[in-house]
Homo-oligomer: A and B are copies of this chain.
Amino acid sequence: MKKFNRIGIVGLGLIGGSIALELKKRKISKYVYGFSRKISTMKKARKRGIIDRYFLSFEKMVSSVDFLIISTPIKVIENYFLVVKKINPSLLMTDVASVKEEIVKKAEKILGKNSKFIGSHPIAGSEKSGIDAVEEGLFKNKTVVITPTENSDKSCIKKVEFFWKSLGANVYFLKPDVHDRILGFTSHLPHFLVFSLIETFISQKNKKEMMKYFGTGFFDTTRIGKSNPDMWTDIFFSNKEVLVFWICEFEKTLKKMKNLLEKDRIDEFLKKLKKIKEVRENIENA
């Protein structure tokens, strides 16, 4: 497939910035343009050479590119769709958000069923964020989920797939709602639980004393508790119904496990833990 001529990226955080870096390094696009709300971020990106040029107006960038990647917080994506509709409604677009159904629906609502927006979600985030967290090879062997709808243009899907594969990613396709349900468990629920675990700690009186006794287990388990609060509030509320479902599922399981403990059902509990260890090891080797 032909490489890209002018790719524009709006939002130059960990994901957007790392895409830019990779596009330049792998020479996937002749030009890489960037737009961010913060001039300082754009200047940094330009200085590091991960974009060829930045724009002070999003409108101008939209009229100068043939592929737009929206790498911004979920709640503002709609605003960018509105600008695209006005200036270049047939522009090929993708995004990188962790929730898909809401965004895909908004794209169709704003840009119509012939919109050339194809949703994407690179599972490559971390607790770090922002332009300073930009990382070479971030997408190598990482999973990217593409979430077309029945209205999506086949050639647009192909181009977006080609784009991600060019960055070294493994591409899977899911319906937007299926994506949200699965990621609601594999990603959103663990984040919600870890935040809640730290919140439980915050409500304790003897925090200073307790703090001496955290081990590596706690640190690894709660690393994602350092994640960007705005981004995760955004994700949780965009996938609210699904997440509430998963929290309830977890609550039920936790109650069952607690019940085995309270009722001294040691053998049954041990049997479960053995299965849990086995499954956890299988997940990693899958």
Closest to A207 in B: B279
The answer to whether B197 touches A284 (Cβ under 8 A) is no
The answer to whether A258 touches B277 (Cβ under 8 A) is no
The docked-state distance in angstroms from the alpha carbon of A207 to that of B118 is 26
The answer to whether B217 touches A220 (Cβ under 8 A) is no
The answer to whether A213 touches B244 (Cβ under 8 A) is no
Answer yes or no: A190 CB below 8 A from chain B CBs: yes
Contact code string A213-257 (vs B, CB < 8 Å = 1, else 0): 111111111111111111011001100100110110111011111
Answer yes or no: A1 CB below 8 A from chain B CBs: no
Contact code string A174-201 (vs B, CB < 8 Å = 1, else 0): 0000000011011101111111111111
The answer to whether A218 touches B279 (Cβ under 8 A) is no
Answer yes or no: A276 CB below 8 A from chain B CBs: yes
The docked-state distance in angstroms from the alpha carbon of A194 to that of B230 is 25
Answer yes or no: A211 CB below 8 A from chain B CBs: yes
The smallest C-beta distance from A67 to any residue of chain B, in angstroms, reads 25
For A204, list chain B residues within 8 Å (CB).
Answer: 185
For A125, list chain B residues within 8 Å (CB).
Answer: 215, 217
Measured as residues with beta carbon below 8 angstroms from the partner, the interface class of chain A is 35 or more
The answer to whether B257 touches A237 (Cβ under 8 A) is no
The docked-state distance in angstroms from the alpha carbon of A225 to that of B275 is 10
The answer to whether B225 touches A237 (Cβ under 8 A) is no
The docked-state distance in angstroms from the alpha carbon of A223 to that of B270 is 18
16 inter-chain pairs at a CB distance below 8 angstroms, sorted by A residue, are A124-B215, A126-B217, A186-B218, A192-B257, A195-B276, A196-B254, A203-B249, A220-B221, A222-B280, A229-B273, A229-B276, A230-B270, A237-B266, A243-B261, A244-B262, A251-B255
Which residues of A are at the interface with B, using a C-beta cutoff of 8 A? 123-127, 143, 145, 172, 182-183, 185-187, 189-204, 206, 209-230, 232-233, 236-237, 240, 243-244, 246-247, 249-251, 253-258, 261-262, 264, 266, 269-270, 272-277, 279-281, 283-284, 286
